[in-house]
Structure 1
Amino acid sequence: MMEIYTTRKNGTSDTLELCGSAEKGAWINLSSTNDDEIAEISEVTGFPAEYLKAALDEEESPRIESDNGNTLILIDLPEIIADGDDKIYSTIPLGILINEDNIVTVCLRNNVVIDDFRNGRIAGCNTLKRTRFLLQVLYKNSQYFLRYLRSIDRKTNAVEDSLHKSMKNKELIELLGIEKSLVYFSTSLKANEVVLEKIMKFKQIKMYEDDADLLEDVIIENKQAIEMANIYSNILSGMMDAFASIINNNMNRIMKILASVTIILSIPTMIASFFGMNVPLPFQESPMMTVALFLLSLSIAITLGLYMLKKEFI
């Protein structure tokens, strides 16, 4: 899908409007695109086709590069993938291409960051101010990382509450999924940080005073997201270790109880087995022998059971 936007004057304010062609100062957004659209945009804007295709590979790492006045900024942005009733947090590459005339954004799928721009939810958005537009995308991306990290924290707390009530495999699998999401986020945020630091020194991107302040804000937000991801990862690792210890302790306790019950039940069996052998024994002809053996076995079993309770074997 290809959409072309440009900024129009609307009285005293600027508005983002759809337009039919890639005029100078336009923003071209590509998502779920194809080779024909890429070839068309490459011809119209002058961006190399390999730059436009870079973000279509989910394995691409964030980076920045420039050639003949065409600059590619590749970053990772967060996304939520629905899996039935569950939500999986992951990351996806976003390519931002800038030259003297246009801005192009390329992504495999529609995403929340670009949707905010498309729907006019970003104040001060102007496609003619290409550097400012780039930094606004980066800032909004960092904000969504922070928002999703808070959602992950709330989800972790909910799973923890469920585990306190019953330790089922479902909750443990959810914790593993959360841990995987945090690894994705942490890796992407650190890679984005490298790109942000390079932008500060990148001469091909013209930076004005207000832009430098906004870039500093983006770096601060990104660092905050990195710290938050690290904190949540450490908390989650500690929680999973604690629950693993609890599960092992419960299993050991159950095994101890079963072993104790086996020992207690073996006493009557041992006593009865003596009188089940074809060997003459004292009082075996007595009519009260059965009752006596029962009472003897019961008393020994009770005594042994009380002793184990006192010693906390059970």
Structure 2
Amino acid sequence: MINEIVLNKRHKLIDVHSTENLNNTDRTKLIEDYDLTNEILDYADDENERARFEYDELSHTFLVVYNVQNENEDSNDLSQRVLPISFAIKDDQLFLFTSDSTHYIKDYILEAKAHFTEEKENLLWEFIFFAFDQISSDYSDQISSTDERRNKIQALIKKHHSSENQILELSDLQDLTTYLNTAINGNVAVVNQIELISSGKVQQLHLTKVTREHLHDSMIEIEQIKNQVNLSSDIIDRISNTYNNILNNRTNTTMKVLTVYTIILSIPTIVSGFYGMNMKLPVADKGWSWVFSLIITIVIILIILWDLHRRNSL
């Protein structure tokens, strides 16, 4: 579905919203009415496209593919928690390619419209950079939410209330931060590329000083998010390793206790077994021989316990 939204007297937002892939009708309209190329549309329509910045000389179109979060946070497939969207600038038109899960980005563009009311150069780029800032804020909120979940697990581990559920949740957090890290690194590369190209070394993109400053601020913001997710990922990995060490230590302790009990409980069986044999043994014919066997058993157990304690095996 294609909607035209007037941003001001000169600029328009072309909102291209697809439930899945671009249908043939929308693709034909974008090619015939807006002079976009199949190459641009292929990039914008690919749900697995990596973050990138392209300039199509044939249609004089800038394309920015950027990673954003899936609006459906309840999605069980963690690989779908981060999805690509595309911005395209051609003449005085800003194209936004989104799906059902990422269509909320349109609201950021409309919010930017209220921030940039006056006519100015590079207005469409200002809209894009404003959307970058909001997307970075979304990532920051997601990382903060991840940290809260991590802190709860850490508190349970310290209270020795850990269980299999914590192991599975730690695994989910590791996977989630991996996807976030990959997506954010892709966005960092895109912003750096735009800044490099807008520095004046490439003729196709000319940004004013104010717009370049906005871009630089956006780059600083996304770099901070990158550091934040790296830190969160490292802490989760360390907690996971600590958890594994705790579980291994508990297993070792359990095996040690079971071994000690096995040794101790085998002694009465050995002593009583001797006295149950059909052979002459000391004091076997006395009425108090069973007391004698108990004394021998206790003495042997005490000697073994003393030896284990001496070896620091208890």
TM-score (norm 2): 0.84
1:13-162 to 2 correspondences below 5 Å:
25-33=12-20, 34-35=22-23, 36-67=25-56, 68-79=59-70, 81-83=73-75, 90-111=81-102, 114-117=105-108, 120=111, 123-124=114-115, 129-162=123-156
Q: Distance in 1 between matches of 2:112 and 2:11?
A: 23
Mapped pair 1:210 → 2:210? yes
Is 1:55–1:108's contact at 8 Å kept on the other side of the alignment?
no
Is 1:26–1:127's contact at 8 Å kept on the other side of the alignment?
no
Counterpart secondary structure, 2:115: coil
Counterpart secondary structure, 1:76: strand
Residue 230 of structure 2 corresponds to 230
Counterpart secondary structure, 1:45: coil
What amino acid maps onto 1:107 in structure 2?
Answer: T
The unaligned stretches of length 5 or more in structure 2 are none
Is 2:53–2:64's contact at 8 Å kept on the other side of the alignment?
yes
Provide closer, same or farther for how the CA distance between residues 206 and 30 of structure 1 changes in structure 2, counting only shifts above 3 A. Answer: farther
CA drift at 1:262: 0.9
Q: Distance in 1 between matches of 2:247 and 2:223?
A: 36
Q: Distance in 1 between matches of 2:113 and 2:157?
A: 41
CA drift at 1:52: 2.6
Is 2:30–2:36's contact at 8 Å kept on the other side of the alignment?
yes
Residue 246 of structure 1 corresponds to 246
The unaligned stretches of length 5 or more in structure 1 are 10-22
Worse-matched range after superposition: 294-303 or 64-73: 294-303
Residue 272 of structure 1 corresponds to 272
Higher strand share: 1
Is 2:271–2:297's contact at 8 Å kept on the other side of the alignment?
yes
Counterpart secondary structure, 2:12: coil
Provide closer, same or farther for how the CA distance between residues 89 and 43 of structure 1 changes in structure 2, counting only shifts above 3 A. Answer: closer
- RMSD between superposed Cα atoms in Å: 2.9
Is 1:73–1:97's contact at 8 Å kept on the other side of the alignment?
yes
Q: Distance in 2 between matches of 1:244 and 1:96?
A: 44
